[in-house]
Amino acid sequence: MTEAEAEARRAREEGGAMANLRRNPASPLGGLVSMRMVILNTLMRRSMIIAQRRLFGLSEIEWRIMTQVSEGVSLSLNNLADVLVQDRGQLSRAVKAMVERGLLTRTRKPGGPEIEIGLAPEGLELRARMTTRAKERDAFLTAGIPEEDLAVVRRVIETMIGRAEELLDQAMALPDGSAAEGRD
């Protein structure tokens, strides 16, 4: 077995519960639309992580950073951490490494301690290649699906995204249960 085959096998085996849900869509959770979407997302994320590392030399966090920073738009390190739901220390280390590789720029915002992150010329070129790859993956996933079905999928997903945002708002409004009775 080659190293690539072994890596692919490990990625599949790590699915555990996801693999069980995938094989048994009639199970109580496996039939939920949201769980089917989680399975799709998990498979896409795994294949993306492997491909980004091999094609572009990016870790998962570096890839996520590259997807958020775009041409002509700088983000503060704090905003980037909030968007990525990422620890600021880990994010800062990743940004520093990407600056050293010539992918990002990192400048202090005038009049304050805030750091702004932008794309360096090499980062712009890499982001263009990443965009091409993302379009290829999307074309592969949707090949053979009639356009009218894809239009329905897009509408349904947009509706579900709106509802997921409502769920996030509801979750944010919940009281912190860490002090609940019976918890240490």
Q: What's this model's pTM, rounded to 2 decimal places?
A: 0.71
**Mean of pLDDT values over 68-79:** 82
Residue ranges with strand state E in 109-180 = 115-119
Those residues with Cβ within 8 angstroms of residue 118's Cβ, 6 or more apart along the chain or in another chain: 69, 73, 74, 75, 104, 105, 107
Give the residue, 172 or 12, on which the prediction is more confident: 172
| Predicted local confidence at residue 114, as pLDDT | 80
**Per-residue DSSP letter, 146:** -
pLDDT at 181: 55
pLDDT exceeds cutoff 80 at 59: yes
H or E element that contains 131: helix 121-142
Query: Any bridge partners for residue 96, and if so which?
Result: none
Segment 41-59 shows an average pLDDT of: 91
In tens, the pLDDT along 123-161 reads 999 999 999 999 999 999 999 999 999 999 999 999 999
Residue 16: pLDDT above 60?
no
- For 17, the enclosing helix (H) or strand (E) is helix 17-23
Nearest C-alpha neighbor of 36 from the set 49, 25, 48, 47: 25
* CA 140-42-160 angle, 5° bins: 85
Which has the higher per-residue pLDDT, 69 or 151? 151
Q: Is the pLDDT at 15 greater than 60, yes or no?
A: no
Tell me what pLDDT residue 180 has: 57
**Which of the four CATH numbers 1.10.150.170, 3.40.50.970, 1.10.10.10, 1.10.3980.10 does domain 59-172 have?**
1.10.10.10
**109-120 pLDDT, tens per residue?**
777 778 889 999
Q: What is the mean pLDDT of residues 165-171?
A: 93
**Can you give the pLDDT at residue 177?**
77
Q: With a cut of 70, say whether residue 73 has pLDDT above it.
A: yes
Q: Where are the domains of the chain?
A: 1-57, 59-172
Instruction: Identify which of 115, 128, 114, 109 has the alpha carbon closest to the alpha carbon of residue 71.
Output: 128
pLDDT average, residue stretch 27-41:
85
Task: Report the chain's mean pLDDT, rounded to a whole number.
Answer: 85
